[in-house]
Amino acid sequence: MKLRDMKIGTQLRIGLGSILLLVVLLGSAALFDGNLLWQQQEGLYSHPLTVRRALSDARYDYMVIQLRMKDLVQAGNEREQQAVIQEIDSFEADASRRLAIIYDSYLGPRKDVDDIQDAAVRWKAVRSETIRLLLAGKSPEAASRVKPVGADSLAAAKVLHEFKDVSDFALKKGDQFFANAKKLKNSLQLQLAALLSAVFFLTLFVSYLLLKTIRTPLQELTAAAKQFQGGALDTRSSYDSPNEFGMLSDSFNELAETVQLELLVKENSGRVADAMLQDDELRPFCRELLKELLQLTGSQVGAVYLLDNQNSAFEHFESIGFSSVNTGSFSATLHEGEFGSALATGQIQHISNIPPDTKFTFATVCGQLIPAEILTIPILAEQKVVAMVSLAGLRPYSVAAVRLVNDVWHVITARFNRVLVLEKIRNFSEKLELQNRELESQTREMTAQKDELTEQNVELELQKNQLDEANRLKSAFLSNMSHELRTPLNSVIALSGVLNRRLANAIPDEEYSYLGVIERNGRNLLALINDILDLSRIEAGKEEISLERFSIRNLVSEVVAMLEHQSNEKGIALLNGIDEGLPTILSDYTKCRHILQNLVANAVKFTAEGSVEIHAVQRGDQIRISVTDTGIGIAPNQIDYIFDEFRQADESTTKNYGGTGLGLAIAKKYVTLLKGDITVTSSPGKGSTFTIILPFAFESAPSGGQVRESAEYPGSPRTGTQPVNVSGQGKCILVVEDNDPAVIQLSDILNGQGYCVKAARNGKEALEQVEKSLPDAMILDLMMPEIDGFEVLAAIRSMEKSAHIPVLILTAKHVTREELSFLKGNNIHQLIQKGDINRNELLKSIENMVQPLDKTPPSPARVQVSRRPAGKPVVLVMEDNPDNLLTIRAMLDKTCRVLEASNGQAGLELARAHEPDIILMDLAMPVMDGFKTLHALRNEDGIRHIPVIAVTADAMSGSREKILAHGFDGYLAKPIDWNTLEEAIRETLNDTENTDC
């Protein structure tokens, strides 16, 4: 296989492999020669160099010994002689070690080394004799022996002479090693130069071949691509090879073919479309269409057939190349001939490979035409073939021709149908032309009326949109004006109330009565503003629903307490006829109270004598609350409008009753918002009955979600307020309010009860005062400059020392659901609207904040004792819900003895009778709720020691601390978990070892 036909990867592997092989050979040769050179260097070091170094050291040692022998003879005393003798022994030992090294490393004759050792041994014997003579006191004889011609000196000279042979041999051996190393170095240089030259030239050669096999096809492909990009659509790459470049060349050619075909088809499609747009009349249109199709597809004949009016046959309409004798029709239902398949499928049919003896022939002027291929194009309208275009040619159709027909089929169909429709319209127009002339005048008149009505409709729609927008803006404006309207009005009411209290008996009675008029009318105006704002919020879609479960009787009791003073002034009876056995409902407590308050207030207002009664009955999953009065009644023609805004039963200029007519409208809208209804029956002069129909459970409540129970916590009562006479001595209240009249009003009320009042004009000043000194409670406005009330509340709750300060919110702002959720999450005590401050209610709230347990007299401290009951512990469960009671009993029945009570009063009686070991108490119970029951329990000596665990569905942030602050020994949130219940009972009984429960 040629190199150019190989795969690019194969070419690269061969070229780079060859270079790599030479590089490996070069490295191997360098490694081998380097090893030989190292051997020569190692021999030079290990033998001649080592021998000469040891020889030099040994010669030195013997020369020193010779000198020390002379010093020994000259030594003055025995001590010096012994020192010299030791030194001679040391050098002699070192010389012996050097001779051993020479013996091991010397490459010459062993006799040379043996001669040195023999001479050294003889010298040692001579030295020993000299030393003996010296030590024997024969110093002259010893001195003569160390003289140059003495025996000792001659023996030393003999030793040194023997070193010369060894030294000469080692020197010659070193020269020999050096010469060999030099030869090896020259050989290594020649080999490396040769191999490097071979690698270099081979790399050049391989690179040339690779560049040639890669660059040449790339250049050819690049040139072809540039020519194709320049508009030469017939440009093709001539490079042919089985490698990747050959495959890339083939792909380029295929892509060029496809692009050229696409462009040709699009160009021809445009020509067909242009031809079809030249005429809207059917016959010229068909003629132009056939001419263009014959030219672009290479067909020799073509015809158009149209479906007749009976939808039974296709008749010849227009053709090119056909003889006039071949203009028959064919059935539209039998699917016969070359058109049968197209009729059956509704698709273009391409008939090819037609044999010479076929019956598919076409008559022309010159004779019968035997086509090579036939194209049949059905024209569909509403899934039915309404026309047929047939093309035939003497040569097979090209791919471009078939592609063109398929691409323009839908365009031809759409345009053909349009022309057919226009033809039908043209025919109908001609038939109706006479009738149109007769009706022309009527048409003109009706057109004029239509135009006029259209203009009026446009104007009315524009006015409607303007009214809707104005109404929306009005509602939004009123809804956002709550703070701006209530704040100045609050100043009027607050300051008039302050003056009313401070100027009593200080000014004339007539002038003093003016203050009462100001305050009364201010409150009336506030009530009106509240109604308007409530209505605007409903219309603006900003009214939100806050669900909680509460008792209807408690709700009615609260409303009756609020309006009882008004009914007593008029001398009419206000009766609460709600049965205590009614179940609680899940709805918006505030809105239900507003609805009922409006209805009862209206009933009291329009009743001069008699009574107003409130009753409630259960009807399936609904509750019906009725308010019946013996007042003036409502005329039948007024009942349909009584719930409209600003409508009243008495609208005369001499009416006896005031009001704006918003109360019933708001009540109706609130009832609708709560998925309920309100009805009215009345007899003029006898009275009226308004009936509120509400579902027991609001349908939009999220399943499984937490629903707040109306437990009526102390500190936020839902009953009427009675006069309060509690001293606030020693209690400090921080008022955070930027409105001076509001500060004056609150200070006047609280100072009168002995409270110490501190004022902060903004949030920053409030935080500074809290940092300096903690108040006993705080009254907080929400709308303030710089730092608003929400930020202040979040800040004090985030600090450990101020996290438990009770906070009462006082604001003129309409609080949204999100804001209310934030306030609840930060454990506020109560929320009061400005301008509607009731002195007794405010003082009651303050009292409950700073003295939450003052209702009951102080009792002796409850002594905590370790209760270890013998046998099963006795557990008293106070729960009004049968399902919850059943659940707790099932949990405790096997390990504890369970007593059951459905309300607080019954629970107290059982506690007195049985003195249980522990009490599980629900907070929201009829007759007596959990808080009141706990207070009563703690006031009785015999049962005050019993531990009590609160069981509640209130799981909001801060609820646990708030509940435990009332004196409960434990807290359990519903739904109850068995492990949690068991642990709570264990901890409360203070006996984890002996208690089975």
Is the same domain home to 87 and 136?
Answer: yes
Mean pLDDT, residues 117-136: 83
Tens of pLDDT, residue by residue over 423-435, are 888 778 778 777 7
Note the pLDDT of residue 960. 67
Is the same domain home to 105 and 160?
Answer: yes
Mean pLDDT, residues 16-29: 77
Q: CA-to-CA distance for 495 and 758, rounded, in angstroms? A: 18
**Cross-strand bridge partners of residue 950:** 921, 971
CB atoms within 10 A of CB 608: 12
Tell me the pTM.
0.36
Coil, helix or strand at residue 774: coil
Tens of pLDDT, residue by residue over 556-585, are 998 998 888 888 888 899 998 888 888 889
Q: CA-to-CA distance for 349 and 326, rounded, in angstroms? A: 21
Is the same domain home to 415 and 436?
Answer: no
Q: CA-to-CA distance for 627 and 678, rounded, in angstroms? A: 11
Average pLDDT for the chain: 78
Note the pLDDT of residue 359. 66
718 in a structural domain: no
C-alpha pair distances (Å), 706 with each of 824, 829, 843, 921: 14, 20, 32, 19
Residue closest to 968 by CA, chosen among 719, 713, 731, 717: 713
Does position 335 have pLDDT exceeding 50, yes or no? yes
Q: Where a domain ends, among 181, 212, 243?
A: 212
Tens of pLDDT, residue by residue over 291-310, are 888 888 888 888 888 888 88
Is the same domain home to 171 and 82?
Answer: yes
Q: 723 falls in which pLDDT band (50, 70, 90)?
A: very low
Q: CA-to-CA distance for 480 and 583, rounded, in angstroms? A: 38
> Residues 950, 924: contact at Cβ < 8 Å?
no
DSSP annotation of 697: B
Task: Write the CATH number for 817.
Answer: 3.40.50.2300
Q: Which residues of 861-872 are buried (b: 16+ CB within 10 A; e: fewer)?
A: eeeeeebebeeb
Q: CA-to-CA distance for 464 and 363, rounded, in angstroms? A: 72
Residue closest to 327 by CA, chosen among 338, 312, 316: 316
Task: Write the CATH number for 563.
Answer: 3.30.565.10
Tens of pLDDT, residue by residue over 419-474, are 888 888 877 877 877 777 777 777 788 888 888 888 888 888 888 888 777 766 76
**233-242, 347-356, 367-376: segment of lowest average pLDDT:** 233-242
Helix/strand/coil percentages in the chain, nearest 5? 55, 15, 30
Phi, psi of 296, rounded to the nearest 5 degrees? -80, -25
CB atoms within 10 A of CB 897: 17
Mean pLDDT, residues 619-640: 88
Give the length of the chain: 997
**Cross-strand bridge partners of residue 625:** 616, 692
Note the pLDDT of residue 1. 54
Q: Which residues contact 32 (CB under 8 A, 6 or more apart)?
A: none
> Residues 811, 790: contact at Cβ < 8 Å?
no
Dihedral sign, CA of 696, 700, 704, 707?
negative
Percent of the chain surpassing pLDDT 70? 82
Does position 492 have pLDDT exceeding 50, yes or no? yes
Note the pLDDT of residue 706. 41
Note the pLDDT of residue 734. 93
**250-254, 660-664, 783-787, 938-942: segment of lowest average pLDDT:** 660-664
Q: What is the dihedral of CA 647, 650, 654, 660, to 10 degrees?
A: -30
Q: CA-to-CA distance for 740 and 759, rounded, in angstroms? A: 10
Is the same domain home to 763 and 822?
Answer: yes
Note the pLDDT of residue 540. 63
Q: CA-to-CA distance for 293 and 415, rounded, in angstroms? A: 15
DSSP assignment string, 784-825: -SSS-HHHHHHHHHHSGGGTT--EEEEESSPPPHHHHHHHHH
Query: Edge-to-edge, what's the strand order for the sheet holding 756-760?
Result: 756-760, 732-736, 777-780, 807-811, 830-833
Pairing of strands 756-760, 732-736: parallel
Is the same domain home to 403 and 274?
Answer: yes
> Residues 584, 549: contact at Cβ < 8 Å?
yes
Pairing of strands 830-833, 807-811: parallel
436 in a structural domain: yes
CB atoms within 10 A of CB 763: 23
Is the same domain home to 401 and 448?
Answer: no
257 in a structural domain: no
Is the same domain home to 737 and 798?
Answer: yes
Note the pLDDT of residue 735. 92
Task: Write the CATH number for 374.
Answer: 3.30.450.40
> Roughly what angle, to the nearest 10 degrees, separates helices 482-502 and 509-539?
160
C-alpha pair distances (Å), 405 with each of 265, 270, 375: 9, 12, 9
In a 13 Å sphere around the CA of 523, the CA atoms on its Cβ side amount to 12
Coil, helix or strand at residue 374: strand
174 in a structural domain: yes
Most confident among 212-216, 416-420, 697-701, 704-708 (mean pLDDT): 416-420
> Residues 233, 259: contact at Cβ < 8 Å?
yes
Which has the higher per-residue pLDDT, 529 or 375? 375
Q: CA-to-CA distance for 917 and 662, rounded, in angstroms? A: 57
Does position 613 have pLDDT exceeding 90, yes or no? yes
Q: 707 falls in which pLDDT band (50, 70, 90)?
A: very low
Does position 168 have pLDDT exceeding 50, yes or no? yes
Alpha helices per DSSP H over 75-109 = 78-105
229 in a structural domain: no
> Residues 305, 317: contact at Cβ < 8 Å?
yes
Is the same domain home to 897 and 765?
Answer: no
67 in a structural domain: yes
Note the pLDDT of residue 680. 92
Tens of pLDDT, residue by residue over 829-849, are 777 766 667 777 788 888 888
Note the pLDDT of residue 324. 63
Q: CA-to-CA distance for 691 and 621, rounded, in angstroms? A: 16
518 in a structural domain: no
Is the same domain home to 686 and 813?
Answer: no
Domain span including residue 207 = 3-212
Query: Edge-to-edge, what's the strand order for the sheet holding 897-901?
Result: 897-901, 874-878, 918-922, 948-952, 970-973
Q: Is the N-terminal amide bond of 975 cis, ω within 30° of 0?
A: yes
Q: CA-to-CA distance for 224 and 765, rounded, in angstroms? A: 83
Which has the higher per-residue pLDDT, 435 or 756? 756
Task: Give a three-class secondary structure readout of 28-60.
Answer: HHHHHHHHHHHHHHHHHHHHHHHHHHHHHHHHH
Note the pLDDT of residue 779. 92
Q: 700 falls in which pLDDT band (50, 70, 90)?
A: low
Q: What is the distance, to the nearest Å, from the Cα of residue 380 to the centroid of all Cα atoms in its chain?
A: 52
Q: Which residues contact 179 (CB under 8 A, 6 or more apart)?
A: none
Kindly report each contact of residues 199-207 with a partner whose C-beta sits within 8 Å and lies 24 or more positions away, as own/partner.
Answer: 199/19, 199/22, 199/23, 199/26, 202/18, 202/19, 202/22, 203/19, 206/15, 206/16, 206/18, 206/19, 207/15
Does position 541 have pLDDT exceeding 60, yes or no? yes
Residue closest to 418 by CA, chosen among 316, 313, 312, 285: 285
Is the same domain home to 124 and 204?
Answer: yes
Does position 375 have pLDDT exceeding 80, yes or no? yes
Q: 713 falls in which pLDDT band (50, 70, 90)?
A: very low
Is the same domain home to 671 and 797?
Answer: no
Q: Please state the domain count of the chain.
A: 6
Q: 390 falls in which pLDDT band (50, 70, 90)?
A: confident
DSSP assignment string, 127-172: HHHHHHHHHTT-HHHHHHHTSTTSHHHHHHHHHHHHHHHHHHHHHH
Q: 817 falls in which pLDDT band (50, 70, 90)?
A: low
Tens of pLDDT, residue by residue over 173-232, are 777 777 777 777 777 778 778 878 877 887 887 777 777 777 777 777 787 788 777 777
Most confident among 336-345, 603-612, 888-897 (mean pLDDT): 603-612
Q: Where a domain ends, among 835, 850, 865?
A: 850
Q: 800 falls in which pLDDT band (50, 70, 90)?
A: confident
Mean pLDDT, residues 596-611: 89
Q: CA-to-CA distance for 837 and 495, rounded, in angstroms? A: 12
725 in a structural domain: no
CB atoms within 10 A of CB 473: 11
Phi, psi of 768, rounded to the nearest 5 degrees? -65, -40
**Cross-strand bridge partners of residue 368:** 363
Note the pLDDT of residue 39. 67
Note the pLDDT of residue 678. 92
Q: 42 falls in which pLDDT band (50, 70, 90)?
A: low
**686-700, 718-732, 893-907: segment of lowest average pLDDT:** 718-732
DSSP annotation of 695: E
Q: Which residues contact 395 (CB under 8 A, 6 or more apart)?
A: 298, 372, 373
> Residues 302, 321: contact at Cβ < 8 Å?
yes
Number of H helices, E strands in the chain: 26, 26
Does position 527 have pLDDT exceeding 50, yes or no? yes
Pairing of strands 918-922, 874-878: parallel
Gyration radius of the chain's alpha carbons: 60
Q: Which residues contact 322 (CB under 8 A, 6 or more apart)?
A: 301, 303, 362, 363, 364
Mean pLDDT, residues 685-713: 66
Residue closest to 627 by CA, chosen among 590, 610, 602: 602
DSSP annotation of 382: T
Does position 993 have pLDDT exceeding 60, yes or no? no
DSSP assignment string, 542-580: -----EEEE-HHHHHHHHHHHHHHHHHHHT-EEEE---T
